[in-house]
Chain A
Amino acid sequence: MAKVPTLNASPQPVTPTASPELPDARPHAIEVRGLTRTFKGGIEAVRGIDLDVRTGEIFGFLGPNGAGKTTTVRMLSTLLPPTAGTARVAGIDVLADPAEVRRRIGVALQEIGLDPIQTGRELLELQCGLYGMGEAQARARAQELLELVGLTEAADRRTKTYSGGMKRRLDLASALVHSPPVLFLDEPTTGLDPASRLTVWEEVRRIKGAGTTVLLTTQYLEEADHLCDRIAIIDAGRIVAEGTPASLKARIGHDVVSVSLDGADPEAIRHTLGTLPALERMVQEPGELLLYLDNGPALIPEIVRRLDREHISVGAISVARPSLDDVFLQATGRRLEGAEEEP
């Protein structure tokens, strides 16, 4: 992961708080305190995170590859014991009563867990059976879920013949057989084409509409922004920011003016624009310079004037509201976008 050089900024953590927005009387579906996982060789994948996920919300866990998202989900879903800390899911302690936690959760992991030898219908019926349903009930529930995720036509084909999107939808359906109150989705759209991604989003919203609490991990900013009620940004095993997407962006508090360099000398631009009023900082990105300042639109004429005065020719100048990537940048000192497509 390449570190983006910053001209005058060091990482500024966005103070994580358990519930930074309006107080919510709803009970927490997931409560995590000091959760830690250290692997052999001393690799600290998750370093003492605290987390409160409210009942009925979609909570996003946003971070790059290797940030600790999947390890956290695996601990919360009882697949991996924590090294330290506590976690309660649906009111049950994951260490004290993992079997009861399993009854109350649905899990769709990053690696789509399907048996290629079975048909979609067989897989769902088996899953229903494992959750204690009788044969008739399992058949009916499997049919219901197949219809729900639009796989009735492919239901009697072996899953190895399914496309990536179909597999993901079936995996999602298999996590829902017992209508769990809490659903974990680990990077549910990674590797999917845009159309399939939208289908999964719709499905996740529908699941939330049915009252299910959803904790999803993602490395896609757009996904976190559009889908999640609240998000936690995780980096190197620590939560560095938490809140609603809007509140996190609001904490940045300024506009982002992008000056496309188009061959211009960034140092000359920095020198020319460095004294702009209300300029908080400048960040050089490949091919552009980003200016973080208040009231960006009003300052565009001044920026143009100064560049013109110094005979500096640039490409486009645009202004935008801060994005979650800006939040990530402020908290970690580097961008998430671009790092997300690592192999």
Chain B
Amino acid sequence: MTEVTLLGRRAVREVFRLPEATVPTLFIPLFFLAVNIGQVSKTFPSSTPFLHGQGYVGFQLPVSLMFAVCTATSGLALVTEIDLGYFDKLLVAPIRRSSIIFGRLGADLVRGLGTSTLVLLVGLALGARIHSGVPGAVVLIIMTALWGVAYAGIGLLVALRTRNVQATNASFLVFFPLLFLTPNFVPFDRLTPLMEALARANPVSYVIEGVRSLVLEGWVPGKLAICAGVIAATGLLLTWLSVRAIEGYDG
């Protein structure tokens, strides 16, 4: 069995044994989903062109999915391990240091699949319909989970660079500007020029747009390709930076 599998299995076990680390991360997406729908549904009825005949829940669901998977949970687990000294134990084992990162990311994938499925089910219960059908729902869950894996690199990077629990926890805050400088409430063309420019420069916008297209429009290859590209590029960059940080980590 490879070291990545072993470390991944351990990290996944941690997800199930520490539900208190995951459950709170579901509160914010579900809270925002309920509140936003409650506040804006009447303003944007299903006849609104950008809703493609759905209620506003379909438009908001991708934003909540982003919220559900963008956490610093892995970074926090890693920095706790550094704090406890177990990280040193792993560093002196004859393994590639990168496997510690990949093991953690494996757990992020499992966590992301679980939380995005749950948020999707809540969205469906609130009236959302997936225009691309069941296959689209599966792709939506996978893309969301993969975005969570890509985003986890921020927490891991901060954990390795700072070795500080508070700083790692605070890295979660990075997501607020990333999420709110997007077409999260209305499409690009309804934003003010400045906000639109910022949103178009923000890669998270394209992840939301891609996932949203599966819900509202069906299969839109262009949007999905850009979404997949952003996820891959972000994942590769942040994972590469995390691997670099762990390779150069001096105990």
Contacts and interface: CB of A to CB of B under 8 A. Distances in A.
Interface of A: 74, 77-81, 99, 102-103, 105, 107, 109, 111-118, 122, 126-127, 129-132, 134-135, 158, 174
Interface in B60-109: 81, 84-95
B107 to A, nearest CB: 12
Contacts of B134: none
Contacts of A113: 84-89
Nearest to A174: B89
Contacts of B17: 117, 158
A231 B18 CA distance: 44
B94 A130 contact: yes
Main secondary structure of the interface of B (DSSP, over half): helix
Nearest to B1: A129
Contacts of A115: 10, 81, 84, 86
Contact of B250 (A80, A102, A132): A80
B47 to A, nearest CB: 51
A130 B84 contact: no
Contacts of B7: 126, 130
20 contacts: A77-B92, A78-B91, A79-B92, A79-B251, A81-B250, A107-B89, A109-B89, A113-B89, A114-B89, A117-B18, A118-B13, A122-B10, A129-B1, A130-B3, A130-B7, A130-B90, A130-B93, A131-B94, A134-B1, A158-B17
B197 interface: no
A193 B106 CA distance: 40
Main secondary structure of the interface of A (DSSP, over half): loop
B88 A79 contact: yes
B10 A74 contact: no
A123 to B, nearest CB: 9
A129 B6 contact: yes
B81 A103 contact: no
A74 B84 contact: no
Interface residues of B, number: 24
B14 A126 contact: no
Nearest to B251: A79
B86 A107 contact: no
A80 B251 CA distance: 5
Given A111-B84, A130-B94, A131-B94, A117 B13 contact: yes
B1 A114 contact: no
Contact of B93 (A102, A116, A135): A102
Given A78-B92, A81-B250, A117 B85 contact: no
Contacts of B10: 115, 118, 122, 126
A103 B3 CA distance: 14
Contacts of A174: 89
Contacts of A109: 85, 88-89
Given A130-B3, A135-B1, 9 more contacts: A74-B251, A79-B251, A80-B251, A111-B88, A113-B87, A117-B18, A118-B13, A130-B7, A174-B89
Closest 6 CB pairs of A and B: A79-B251, A111-B85, A113-B89, A113-B85, A130-B93, A102-B94
Contacts of A126: 6-7, 10
Interface string B1-24: 101001100100110011000000
A111 B84 CA distance: 7
B89 A103 contact: no
Nearest to A79: B251
B100 to A, nearest CB: 10
